[in-house]
């Protein structure tokens, strides 16, 4: 019986077994693997090396919930910022949409991928959560985002960050399966991948154990979003933090480090006049004292629904310097794609208030 799942996300051995189950030779599976991952085929009709009769038979009976056996998505809209950052709005097979972003630099291309359609975490400074959560993404829908950016930007992605729409740790199995596929089938290294979380109670030790079971070792970077040095302010910015006290989150981070041997990176969005003052930097340094970690500072990127202010550059530098002076490893992330609403916290699955298809073009 033909499995009602897309082929994208399967490894070479799985594709060989799938081809054999269809009455084909095993090498047809290797051809499928090459065309799906190396060539980025969008449908089986495009894979000209496959027997025409087989392609036609499969096309007449596509898998449930997919446009085509390939598992590739359809591009609804493309916007390109002045700095080259490219945002894609992609259609899912059930009529929903997701956003993914390609961020180019001199010697790298980072793909910011989504793990869910929408988000349930409702962080006040983030546009994605304003519409709530609709569902989690499947493995092929995550991997497709990387292939789509590669195709549009005509460059091989060097890094992938799970910092798009959704909370990755509410979709752990699919995220780990996608990481496995990116490394095994697209030739990436785990060290080129970052998984970002705002914090789901008791999920970090479980993530560590599942990672070792699924991937054999944990080498991707775990980025935990703090955004405040104390519980009261964190609850104000992240309502779901009420169910996850800051001390419990940090204890779970320590357990993650103990299990994996990997340090944790902490994300901290600086909101002008709210959490970017010297006292906040001092409190954050005290909070992380003795921790095997790195702090990534991010200047707030404005969204329509909130009146938070972007911090001035002097405040950002002062905050960075205060952490550094207290022996906290720290860096400042440059904002990319602001003029295309493609910067951190600005993804929202929207095209002029509509999700209707549009022609790709620059903004």
Provide the annotated active-site residues. Answer: 99, 344
CA 216 to chain centre: 21
In the three-class reduction of DSSP (H, G, I as helix; E, B as strand; rest coil), residue 202 is classed as: coil
- How crowded is residue 60: how many other Cβ atoms within 10 Å of its Cβ? 7
Helix axes 246-260 and 203-215, enclosed angle (nearest 10): 20
Label each residue of 325-362 as H, E or C: HCCCCEEEECCCCHHHCCCCCCCCCCECCECCCCCCCC
Q: Residue 256: which residues within 8 A CB-CB, separation 6 or more?
A: 204, 205, 207, 208, 222, 262, 264
Instruction: Give me the long-range contacts of 309-317 (CB less than 8 A, separation at least 24).
Output: 309/271, 309/272, 309/273, 309/274, 310/272, 311/270, 311/271, 311/272, 311/273, 311/276, 312/272, 315/270, 315/272, 315/276, 315/277, 316/270, 316/276
Q: Give all strands (DSSP E) within the chain, no chain letters.
A: 74-80, 86-91, 97-105, 108-112, 116-118, 133-136, 159-162, 193-197, 221-225, 264-270, 293-299, 330-333
Total number of residues shown for the chain: 363
């Amino acid at each position: 019986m033909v499995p009602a799942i897309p082929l994208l996300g399967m490894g070479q051995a799985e594709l060989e077994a799938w081809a054999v189950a269809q009455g084909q030779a095993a090498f047809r599976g290797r051809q499928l693997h090459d065309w799906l991952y190396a060539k980025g085929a969008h449908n089986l009709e495009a894979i000209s090396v496959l027997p025409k009769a087989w392609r036609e038979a499969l096309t007449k009976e596509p898998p449930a919930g997919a446009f085509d056996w390939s598992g590739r998505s359809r591009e609804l809209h493309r916007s390109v910022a002045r700095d080259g950052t490219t945002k894609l709005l992609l259609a899912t097979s059930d009529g929903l949409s997701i956003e993914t972003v390609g961020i180019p630099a001199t010697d790298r291309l980072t793909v910011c991928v989504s793990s869910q359609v929408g988000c349930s975490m409702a962080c006040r400074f983030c546009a994605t959560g304003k519409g709530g959560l609709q569902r989690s993404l499947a493995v092929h829908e995550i991997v497709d985002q990387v292939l789509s950016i590669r195709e549009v930007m005509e460059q091989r992605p060097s890094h992938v960050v799970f910092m798009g729409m959704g909370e990755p740790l509410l979709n752990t199995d699919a995220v780990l399966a996608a990481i496995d596929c990116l490394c095994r089938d697209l030739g990436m290294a785990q060290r080129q991948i970052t998984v970002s979380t705002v914090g789901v109670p008791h999920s970090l030790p479980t993530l560590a154990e599942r990672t070792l079971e699924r991937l054999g070792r944990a080498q991707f970077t775990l980025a935990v979003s703090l955004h405040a040095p104390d519980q009261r302010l964190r609850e104000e910015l992240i309502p779901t933090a009420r169910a996850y006290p800051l001390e419990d989150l940090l204890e779970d981070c320590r357990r993650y480090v103990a299990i994996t041997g990997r340090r944790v990176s902490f994300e901290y969005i600086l909101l002008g006049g709210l959490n970017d003052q010297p006292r906040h930097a001092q409190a954050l340094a005290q909070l992380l004292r003795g921790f095997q970690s790195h702090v990534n500072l991010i200047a707030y990127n404005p969204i329509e629904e909130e009146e938070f202010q972007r911090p001035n550059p002097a405040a950002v530098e002062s905050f960075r310097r205060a952490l550094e002076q207290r022996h906290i490893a720290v860096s400042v992330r440059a904002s990319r794609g602001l003029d295309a609403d493609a910067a951190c916290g600005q993804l929202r699955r929207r095209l002029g208030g509509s999700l209707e298809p549009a022609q790709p073009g620059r903004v």
